[in-house]
Amino acid sequence: MDNEVKLHGFWPSPFVYRVIWALKLKGIEYDYIEEDLANKSELLLRYNPVYKKVPVLVHAGKPISESLVILEYIEEVWPHNPLLPKDPYERSVARFWINFATDKGRSAVRSLFWGGEDGEKEAAEQMFNFLKIIEEQALGDKKFFGGNSINMVDLIFAWFACWIQPMEQLVGIKVLEPSRLPRLHAWVKNFKEEPIIKENLPDPERLLEYYTRMRSNRMSKPN
């Protein structure tokens, strides 16, 4: 009872999935609580008063918010099956890419999703440029960002393995083209085939439906 692990999540969230994967990769038992973000639970608001978001990890009654903070916590409390390199320099490189994905990746995604009529092509190019840097400098010739096995950097970039596809469909522009980004494309395939990942992926149809609704809702609202 004392060491119970609970995860408050929301099924379409890639941030929640990062935590799910980390817990499962380390074989950590946990209870999952699905939150309705349109109707947040008292518990969620108490655990994360600053952002009122998911994921929130609760360990032995103590809440931790923000997916990157949660991942570092998990790594420190359960160091087996490590998700970060041991060497401080290699760790700093991994953290650099995690930071880069969080910073630049997020704005590229936002532009792609919400970009207007003219904005779409430019947003797609911005996204492509971002992905090109990732492919050339973060991934290189490795199978995974973590080398021969996946690590935290792979979990962060997983957005591009599953969440970009419904977005590309919605916006009508394919960014992750195999001809333009061959190594990244291969990584997507390899990532989704990894045992734990394979069993824990969002349903693409359901995601597409969710994104479609989200986009039309926002666009129909008056400015």
Partner 1 sequence: MGEEDRVILHGMWASTYVKRVELALKIKGIPFEYVEEDLSNKSALLLKYNPVQKKVPVLVHNGKPICESLVILEYIDETWPSHGLQLLPKDPYERARVRFWAAYIQQLLESMAKLFNPDHKEAQEKALEEMYEKQRILEEGMREFFPEESPNVHPEKLGILDIMIVSTLGAFRAQEEVLGVKTLDPEKNPLLFSWVEALIQLPVVKEIIPPFEKLVSLLQFIKQNGIRF
Q: Which of 3, 81, 92, 216 binds partner 1 (CB under 8 A)?
A: 92
Reduced to 3 states (helix: H, G, I; strand: E, B; else coil), residue 73 is: helix
Q: Distance (Å, rounded) from C-alpha 67 to C-alpha 88?
A: 21
**By CB under 8 A, is residue 5 in contact with partner 1?**
no
Give least dist CB 77 to partner 1, A. 5
Identity at 8, one-letter amino acid code: H
Six-digit token string for 141: 């010739």
Reduced to 3 states (helix: H, G, I; strand: E, B; else coil), residue 85 is: coil
Q: Distance (Å, rounded) from C-alpha 124 to C-alpha 108?
A: 8
**By CB under 8 A, is residue 69 in contact with partner 1?**
yes
Q: Distance (Å, rounded) from C-alpha 65 to C-alpha 212?
A: 28
Burial of 128: CB neighbours in 10 Å, binned 0-12, 13-18, 19+? middle
Six-digit token string for 52: 């009122």
Return the residues of window 41-60 that contact partner 1 according to CB under 8 A.
50, 59
Q: Which of 5, 33, 43, 133 binds partner 1 (CB under 8 A)?
A: 133
Reduced to 3 states (helix: H, G, I; strand: E, B; else coil), residue 105 is: helix
Q: Which of 76, 118, 193, 199 binds partner 1 (CB under 8 A)?
A: 76
Range in contact with partner 1 (rule: CB under 8 A) among 22-30, 89-97, 106-114, 144-152: 89-97
For partner 1, the closer CB: 49 or 182: 49
Give least dist CB 15 to partner 1, A. 14
Residue located via tokens 């991942």: 71
Give least dist CB 147 to partner 1, A. 18
Q: Distance (Å, rounded) from C-alpha 35 to C-alpha 56?
A: 10
For partner 1, the closer CB: 45 or 206: 45
For partner 1, the closer CB: 106 or 121: 106
**By CB under 8 A, is residue 8 in contact with partner 1?**
no
**By CB under 8 A, is residue 149 in contact with partner 1?**
no
Q: Distance (Å, rounded) from C-alpha 50 to C-alpha 166?
A: 30
Give contact residues for partner 1 (rule: CB under 8 A). 50, 59, 62, 64-66, 68-70, 72-73, 76-77, 88-89, 91-92, 95-96, 99-100, 133, 137
